Amino acid sequence: MSSVPPASEQTTAASSGSSTAIACDIFCAVIDNFGDIGVCWRLARQLASEHGWQVRVFVDDLHAFQKLCPSLALDRARQTVGGIVVEHWHEPAHAGDTLEVADVVIEAFGCELPPIYVAAMTERARAPVWFNLEYLSAEDWVADFHLRLSPHPRHALTKTFFFPGLGPGTGGVLKERHLDAARAAFEVSPAAREAWWRQTTGHAPPPATATVVSLFAYENPAVDGLLEQWRDNPAPIVLLVPEGRISGAIARFFDLPSFTGGSHASRGNLTAHALAFTAQAGYDALLWASDINFVRGEDSFVRAQWAAKPFVWHIYPQADAAHLPKLDAALAHYARTLPADARDALARFWHAWNGAGRPDWAEFQRHGPALQRRAAQWAGELAQVGDLAGNLALFAKTQLK
């Protein structure tokens, strides 16, 4: 492993005053789902495409990453995908075959940087801007801790905590500049929608009388009762299910050995299509094609809000029900202006989907128009907070001056 160039030889956008692009390293350890790398990859692509940064992503699980980015090779220690360098990170000691330190360093979700990399940060002529990117939370305390500084206990380095959030004073959430225009173009184009349905499901779009539901969730015992309600619904329900942790329950309901991409099944008024796991770049169209979206974790939760459709969130479950206050905090933001009866119905449904009771689909549907209006209104409110990549880039530039 090569050593870090002496401080006198290092040239960066911050220290040289040149037009050299800002270099950014993002470190990501995948825990047990796709959310960690999903957020990091989306952030990396946006910093590169919209802000012109030179981005490198260190990730420890290429298999999980490849689900979101099919062009990724599993057998390469270093590769470039879409102009972004990807390093297979053998944490905790590994920092790439060549030790290089960027102008901006993002430690995602408390994954801890390699000690050799931290030591190299101290050797630069100017210390990099170091972010600890936290998980998204809608809780009120987030605004108080966003951009709080944390000096390193041994080195002359300072870490800045960057908190995504749904309200003012937070880092916001990720949103690309083109997203609203892309959604609008899809929604007004019957040809685009028909092409999407035929390519994704092998079938034509359903009739206007059908309610289209996308279902992306963790394992969930409430799904059996909900499938029964959809089967017995007075009007048709068309279910779109990306392959994942809910697939086994869908297969059991339809008495099938499996429910993998390309599978189709019907019972009563419920028709279900299994979709191959959707690459990140294609997930938004699934949300746009649906009337109601069931989402999970962080990344799909954020995308559902930008889709401006009613949605149901399966929050990542934590021990001792520590996730429920986070669920309620999100509801407090999202449902704030709903009429009381619609707000209560939404809260009951979200809580039931997260383990407290039985989801009542008929009640949820009765408030469909109010929920649709609020979904569109909320997307506009959330945009006022600013997008996470833009907020992070702006703050970093103020520190690099």
| DSSP letter (8 states) at residue 105 | E
pLDDT band at 4 (very low <50, low <70, confident <90, very high): very low
pLDDT, position 361: 98
Q: Per 3-state DSSP, what percentage of the chain is helix, strand, and coil (rounded to 5)?
A: 40, 20, 40
Q: Which among 103, 176, 298, 299 is annotated as catalytic?
A: 298
Q: How far apart are CA 95 and CA 101, in angstroms?
A: 9
Mean pLDDT throughout 54-64?
A: 93
Is 1 inside a domain boundary?
A: no
Is 242 inside a domain boundary?
A: yes
Distances (CA, A) of 210 to 99, 371, 388: 56, 17, 36
Which token pair is 267? 């019972």
Maximum average pLDDT range among 6-15, 61-70, 100-109: 100-109
Which tops the pLDDT comparison, 376 or 31? Answer: 376
Clarify whether residues 284 and 188 are in a common domain: yes
Clarify whether residues 207 and 272 are in a common domain: yes
Is 18 inside a domain boundary?
A: yes
pLDDT band at 259 (very low <50, low <70, confident <90, very high): very high
Is 354 inside a domain boundary?
A: yes
Quick check: 31 pLDDT over 90?
no
Quick check: 10 pLDDT over 50?
no
pLDDT, tens digit, 9 for 90 and up, residues 116-149: 999 999 999 899 999 999 999 999 999 999 999 9
pLDDT, position 356: 86
| DSSP letter (8 states) at residue 9 | G
Q: How far apart are CA 164 and CA 146, in angstroms?
A: 8
Q: How far apart are CA 266 and CA 37, in angstroms?
A: 34
Which tops the pLDDT comparison, 357 or 43? Answer: 43
Work out the angle at residue 83's Cα, subtended by the Cα atoms of residues 80 and 87, and round it to the nearest 5 degrees.
35
Q: How many domains does the chain have?
A: 2
State the residue range of the domain holding 275.
179-382
Quick check: 112 pLDDT over 60?
yes
Helix (H) or strand (E) holding 36: helix 35-51
pLDDT, position 6: 34
Please say if 298 is a catalytic residue.
yes
Which token pair is 131? 């972010």
Work out the angle at residue 126's Cα, subtended by the Cα atoms of residues 120 and 131, and round it to the nearest 5 degrees.
70
Max Cα separation, the chain? 73
Clarify whether residues 392 and 350 are in a common domain: no
pLDDT, position 354: 94
pLDDT, tens digit, 9 for 90 and up, residues 292-346: 999 998 899 999 999 999 999 999 887 777 788 999 999 999 999 999 999 999 9
Clarify whether residues 128 and 212 are in a common domain: no
pLDDT, position 170: 97
Clarify whether residues 254 and 351 are in a common domain: yes
Clarify whether residues 284 and 231 are in a common domain: yes
CATH number of the domain residue 80 falls in: 3.40.50
Clarify whether residues 377 and 390 are in a common domain: no
pLDDT, position 8: 31
Q: Is 2 exposed, middle or buried (0-12, 13-18, 19+ CB in 10 A)?
A: exposed
Which tops the pLDDT comparison, 231 or 34? Answer: 231
Which token pair is 171? 């880092």
Q: Which residues pair with 106 in a beta bridge?
A: 26, 131
pLDDT, position 319: 74
Is 360 inside a domain boundary?
A: yes
Quick check: 32 pLDDT over 80?
no
pLDDT band at 5 (very low <50, low <70, confident <90, very high): very low
Clarify whether residues 201 and 82 are in a common domain: no
Quick check: 78 pLDDT over 60?
yes
Clarify whether residues 197 and 138 are in a common domain: no
Quick check: 19 pLDDT over 60?
no
Tell me the pLDDT of the chain averaged across its residues: 91
Clarify whether residues 38 and 153 are in a common domain: yes
pLDDT, tens digit, 9 for 90 and up, residues 195-213: 999 999 999 999 999 999 9
Which token pair is 201? 């499901």
Please, how many CA atoms are within 13 Å of residue 208, restricted to the half-sphere of its CB? 1
pLDDT band at 96 (very low <50, low <70, confident <90, very high): confident
pLDDT, position 30: 87
pLDDT, position 14: 37
pLDDT, position 35: 74
Q: Is 235 exposed, middle or buried (0-12, 13-18, 19+ CB in 10 A)?
A: exposed
Please say if 36 is a catalytic residue.
yes
pLDDT, position 12: 38
Q: Please report, rounded to a whole number, the percentage of residues in the chain having pLDDT higher than 90.
A: 80
Clarify whether residues 194 and 256 are in a common domain: yes
What does pTM read for this prediction?
A: 0.90
Clarify whether residues 258 and 368 are in a common domain: yes
Quick check: 290 pLDDT over 90?
yes
Is 2 inside a domain boundary?
A: no
